[in-house]
Chains A and B, each alone.
Chain A
């Protein structure tokens, strides 16, 4: 589904001049990242013939010349029928795109090196089908049909190369349906960041468990988790842990949703400290190693504490502790948390 971006080539001077011109600004009205729903009004839909559209026009001219030369009345009828069908197709293509509503849904966090999946909702409030809608950017594309009066979720998969917040680049939403002679398109940059955790280092280094007796840690694996309290819900928390009983109240009061907070019954001396790692490793390698250990600790159900700089996170085990730690690792010492996918 996805195709990786290739090395950028310098753009021709004219294209660069056009990009910075007022005409460009006036026509395409760049908006930047937009949060929430986007309604594709007429101003946001552009339409232009495709290569096939021009080829079609060329064959129509040939057919017209033939009809004149051989005085074919039905040749005129056919040529004019096709020309009119081209115009009707323009209206169909435009209708296929205009007044569509776009909404960013979610982007589950992934590890660097994996593929980030951005779920985008296409809302069709009209009683006709919007077929063959394309969503594309430099890194990937997807195509989807939206049934009449229904919605469809398009999943755009983009390779996550570096840790941090992966933001979607500007997307092109386009359609050539029904005849492929014209292309209607709109631009949309949804404000939907995907949290990319550091790439886990290859397995090998054993967990830095503290010597026996320094704590009362019992081996995990009993599977018991204790309710530790409530805290504010964040996007990375599992929806399974939302405190649904209090959600109604949150709706009334306008307060935030709450998430149940658990920790493992065991406390441990497993401390994942960035400073204890050898100085020969670079920052990214250190974070990778910590991520690997964190995952190993989760797998063996050993409670752990993450120590990045001054504050400790934990000790704890499983969600939401796991997410919290991974988030800290993902964003650690990032000056500009916003990392565009295009970067």
Chain B
């Protein structure tokens, strides 16, 4: 019945609570919070400066410095921020600028530009705790956008630091009574992230992954570039950039074949307009054939995203993943562009035997040349034909020409004009694989031999640390295939004729010593020391593990991993169950960690509890809500009733009183010193009950 009287007064979420709630959220954010926020934004926005439009970087920096200056100038007085009208004007400018640069506000690049501008403007109107929280959430989002552009270990480490710093801003914003030292708030943020790590791991491994995309990817979603393209125009570029970028990594499951026989087949270019080689559009031909011969090579390729549907396989592949197919000119392709790192198994026969079955109509497209171009070459080939050179002899003669004439292999060839083959063969005589493959294929077609250009990669590099074979963009190569009657499509690599080292030892060996090489290029004796090499291999192995396990954790990989962990054909329901159990277990551990702290009692409290326990044994039990002085008084009364000898009782009584008074002073008093605490423990120890 008693409860009836106060019942209406008890409310879970009263209007008053909500009202004072608003008061607490409207508290002005302290200087410390603002400065911490600005500092935490540096590693978040820093990496973005590389790909944001210059004006956007300038704008954001300006807003940032402006806010820093305003905060610094205001001292401890309330900061005076720019007027709403000025901010509206700046917002209009930001929107106009984004639209002007990207033609849209949506999509990846436009979105990142816009969010960056919004956050920088938000800094200029951040007054209250509420504004800080909004800025913090925006910053979390900006951390994510960094991964659009790079997911390297370095960026991951930097973003982890950003995550801790941004979280520390949130902590600082929630210190309502007294501010916390910067170091302590950063440590607490780090602790929270550290405690979150095992849960994150469980979620990462077990959260059911689905294959993206959920909505259409904008055209700008993958920024990576390949060393290969859909067309090849020898002589149009005067220098070839040697990119260290990884094209793909290979793990051989059977003995590694010889490096010189590793031709990774990619786009086949068979349409030539006099300057450019292109892929044959809508090739309706019967596919080229070959027979398995020699040892089979099994391997797993991890392909970096390249926004093209191309796959790469050793010549010639017999087994490819289900979704892949071979074009009629034997290029392995995917059903859709590879937007993310892709892993697939394949089997190839490097010593394959081509089969000649084609008829004239199958071969006609491989003989097409634009009329009236490269007259000098045409003339030379006509002479050779006139001299009776045919078929394989013609191939050998053309290669001999490259060897005997003064041809040089260089990455900085001169520009070629209207008749690029003529100019290359008779005047400049300098070029890289594209020049040789293009000129050779043209020569063959002029001689009536069906020929095509094959692009892809050649060679690669084994990493002794993890046994992965790395093929880089710098390994991009172009070679020719000619059709010889009775034998079929045979590979000819004219670059090998001029620079055998290029084929046998990779790019590094083919370059003249004076040529400035990128640090990572191999076989550069003189400055590449063993230690450097070892470091490079180790780092590569780490990067590869990172790619394999963190970046390439796809739905397939997840399934594979869970099967290896003992789950048989896990469905998403199984994963959710496992995830829930895992999260529960990890939460228990973290809770244990957090609450473990409570067992390490304060020495004063520990001594007091010892004292209470001793009195409880003597029959005086302290009530849970009883204060120390009340308890001592009651203990005195109850002990008096025991009829103890006078001397013993007196000592006990004064002991109990002294302990209670000292405890109250130590516990509730304004301060305590170590000596007082020690003395208190001593008093409890000496008490005889």
Give residues in A with beta carbon < 8 Å to B.
3, 5-6, 8-9, 11, 19-20, 24, 27-28, 30, 32-33, 36-39, 46, 52, 55-56, 59, 62-63, 65-85, 87-89, 91-92, 95, 99, 103, 121, 123, 125-128, 131-134, 136-138, 141, 143-145, 148-149, 151, 169-170, 172, 176-180, 187, 189, 248, 251-254, 340, 342
Contacts and interface: CB of A to CB of B under 8 A. Distances in A.
A67 to B, nearest CB: 7
Contacts of A172: 14, 17
Given A131-B180, A180-B173, A52 B151 contact: no
B20 A74 contact: no
B159 A78 contact: yes
Given A70-B108, A84-B200, A145-B178, A136 B600 contact: no
B657 to A, nearest CB: 6
Contacts of A95: 594-595
A248 B667 CA distance: 21
Interface stretch (B73-81, B214-222, B441-449): B214-222
Given A87-B587, A149-B605, A66 B597 contact: no
B186 to A, nearest CB: 12
B180 A91 contact: no
A95 B140 CA distance: 26
Contacts of A342: 9
A177 B195 CA distance: 16
A92 to B, nearest CB: 7
Given A151-B668, A187-B10, 8 more contacts: A55-B137, A74-B159, A84-B203, A131-B175, A177-B174, A189-B6, A251-B636, A254-B637
A63 B141 contact: yes
A5 B550 contact: no
Contacts of A99: 598
21 contacts: A37-B625, A55-B137, A59-B137, A67-B144, A72-B144, A73-B147, A73-B552, A74-B551, A75-B147, A77-B200, A84-B200, A84-B203, A92-B594, A127-B597, A132-B175, A144-B177, A172-B17, A178-B188, A180-B174, A187-B10, A252-B640
A178 B192 contact: yes
Contacts of B243: none
Contacts of A127: 597-598, 600-602
B597 A85 contact: no
Nearest to A174: B17
A125 B605 contact: yes
Given A71-B213, A73-B550, A85-B193, A28 B10 contact: yes
Contacts of A251: 629, 632-633, 636, 657
B580 interface: no
Interface in B565-619: 583, 587, 590-591, 594-595, 597-598, 600-602, 604-605
B213 to A, nearest CB: 5
A77 B156 CA distance: 10
Given A69-B212, A70-B217, A78 B143 contact: yes
A129 B433 CA distance: 69
Contacts of B550: 73-74, 77
Nearest to A153: B668
Interface of B: 2-3, 5-12, 14-17, 19-20, 23-24, 108, 129, 133, 137, 140-141, 143-144, 147-148, 151, 155-156, 159, 163, 167, 170-171, 173-178, 180, 188, 192-193, 195-200, 203-204, 207, 209-210, 212-215, 217, 221, 339-340, 550-554, 583, 587, 590-591, 594-595, 597-598, 600-602, 604-605, 624-627, 629, 632-634, 636-637, 640, 653, 657, 667-668
Contact of A177 (B175, B204, B602): B175
- Give the 5 A-B CB pairs with smallest separation, nearest first: A84-B199, A84-B196, A138-B16, A149-B602, A30-B10
Contact of B170 (A37, A88, A180): A180
B675 to A, nearest CB: 17
Nearest to A85: B196
B649 to A, nearest CB: 10
B584 to A, nearest CB: 11
A74 B24 contact: no
Contact of B6 (A33, A62, A65, A67): A33
Contact of B203 (A33, A74, A83): A83
Contact of A85 (B108, B144, B192): B192
Contacts of B8: 19
A57 to B, nearest CB: 11
A70 B598 contact: no
Contacts of A52: 133
Contacts of B140: 59, 63, 78, 82
Nearest to B5: A32
Contacts of A84: 196-200, 203
B141 A5 contact: no
A192 to B, nearest CB: 14
A304 B137 CA distance: 67
B10 A69 contact: no
Given A56-B137, A63-B141, A71-B339, A30 B3 contact: yes
A20 B210 CA distance: 47
Contacts of B148: 70, 72
Residue among A20, A59, A71, A126 with max Cβ neighbours from chain B (10 Å): A71
Contacts of A36: 625-627
B167 A85 contact: yes
Contacts of A74: 147, 151, 155-156, 159, 550-551
Contacts of A37: 624-627
Contacts of A32: 2-3, 5-6
A174 to B, nearest CB: 8
B548 to A, nearest CB: 11
A334 B491 CA distance: 111
Contacts of B600: 127
Contacts of B604: 149
A59 B214 contact: no
A106 to B, nearest CB: 13
Contact of A73 (B159, B196, B200, B553): B553
Nearest to A86: B196
Nearest to A142: B177
A27 B193 CA distance: 32
A254 B177 contact: no
A179 B552 CA distance: 32
Contacts of A133: 177
Contacts of A340: 9
B9 A81 contact: no
A327 B226 CA distance: 90
Nearest to B15: A9
A74 B549 CA distance: 11
Contact of B167 (A63, A65, A91, A179): A179
A255 B137 CA distance: 61
Contacts of B9: 30, 169-170, 189, 340, 342
Contact of B213 (A63, A69, A128, A248): A69
A5 B177 contact: no
A342 B133 CA distance: 33
A187 B20 CA distance: 16
Contact of A126 (B143, B553, B597, B640): B597
A92 B137 CA distance: 20
Contact of B174 (A103, A132, A254): A132
A248 B660 CA distance: 13
Nearest to B184: A129
Contacts of B171: 177-179
A132 B174 CA distance: 7
B17 to A, nearest CB: 6
B208 to A, nearest CB: 11
A126 B598 contact: yes
A342 B12 CA distance: 16
A70 B174 contact: no
A149 B606 CA distance: 11
A132 B624 CA distance: 26
A95 B595 CA distance: 8
A87 B636 CA distance: 49
